[in-house]
Amino acid sequence: MNARRLDTLDAVRGLAMVWMTVFHFCFDLNNAGVIQQNFLQDPVWTWQRTAILSLFLCCAGAGQALAHARVQSGWQFARRWLQIAAAAALVSLGSWFMFPGSYIYFGVLHAMAVMLLITRLVAPLGRGCGLLGLAIIATHFIAGSAISTWASTQFGVDMNGRALNWIGWVTRLPRTEDYVPLFPWLGVMLLGFAFMHAWQRQPRTGRLPLPAALTRRLAALGQWSLSYYLLHQPVLLGLLWLVGIGR
């Protein structure tokens, strides 16, 4: 195991990146009219998106647990946070050029930038982050619609508007190419944090049920997750354009 990183965690992140690439390639083929799929409603695709995103956020939470245990400095955290925030801004800018009517204003990177700050703040709770995470997930499913309606009727606050829908207490999904609100997804990151916090207290060998060579390659890929995330779609779209499929 790498002295500074957990290879298995990087491999899980790398596996999520490969899955994400296949998913986005199918999405691009659908946009180009090569295949006909309903990515917004068909459970085959909506559940895949949920699983991929959950893997990413659990890995991010687990990484924060490792950083907390190793007493990561404020400067180290700030440097990584600024990289994610800058990448989120690039995603917004790029998506605005490609999809001006549905550009990404609070996608996965925007959400991660906010969630990492919150996770670092509540990190001293340790395993208690798991209970907090479950409460956040439950709140989304139980009280989201009620809170949205109550706030709108009592105070004239529009929880569905762009100014507040990033919280997640909405009654309708916004028109955007990627939407990752704090509720319930912050809860998923906190569950990842709590799992890794508990795992470190009772260390055990954790290996993926994959050939060692493949696991090493996935771990190497997982170490470059942010760069890969930013580059994979332009590369996929470029390849489609080269073969005359892209628009």
Domain residue extents for the chain: 74-200
62: left (phi over 0), alpha (psi -120 to 50) or beta: alpha
Tokens 């995470």 identify what position? 133
Q: Out of 1-15, 55-69, 145-159, which region has the weakest mean confidence (pLDDT)?
A: 145-159
Higher pLDDT, 80 or 32: 80
- Give me the mean pLDDT over the 227-240 stretch: 91
Banded pLDDT at 243 (limits 50, 70, 90): confident
Total count of residues recorded for the chain: 247
Integer Cα distance of 86 and 107 in angstroms: 13
Query: What pLDDT, on a 0 to 100 scale, did the predictor assign at position 204?
Result: 58
* Count of Cβ atoms closer than 10 Å to residue 11 Cβ: 25
* Count of Cβ atoms closer than 10 Å to residue 13 Cβ: 24
Residues 6+ apart with CB under 8 A from 127: 194, 197, 198
Banded pLDDT at 209 (limits 50, 70, 90): low
pLDDT greater than 60 at residue 4 = no
Burial 91-111 (b: 16+ CB within 10 A, else e): bbeebeeeeeeebbbbbbbbb
213 closest CA partner among 4, 7, 5, 6: 7
Q: What is the pTM of this model?
A: 0.89
Residue 245, H or E segment: none
pLDDT greater than 50 at residue 213 = yes
Query: What pLDDT, on a 0 to 100 scale, did the predictor assign at position 247?
Result: 53
Query: What pLDDT, on a 0 to 100 scale, did the predictor assign at position 2?
Result: 43
End-to-end CA distance of the chain: 44
pLDDT tens digit sequence for 143-171: 766 776 676 666 667 888 888 999 998 88
Integer Cα distance of 224 and 220 in angstroms: 7
Integer Cα distance of 11 and 214 in angstroms: 9
Residues 6+ apart with CB under 8 A from 226: 83, 84, 87
Q: Out of 32-36, 87-91, 150-154, 174-178, which region has the weakest mean confidence (pLDDT)?
A: 150-154
pLDDT greater than 60 at residue 246 = no
Burial 216-233 (b: 16+ CB within 10 A, else e): eebbebbbebeebbeeeb
Integer Cα distance of 106 and 89 in angstroms: 10
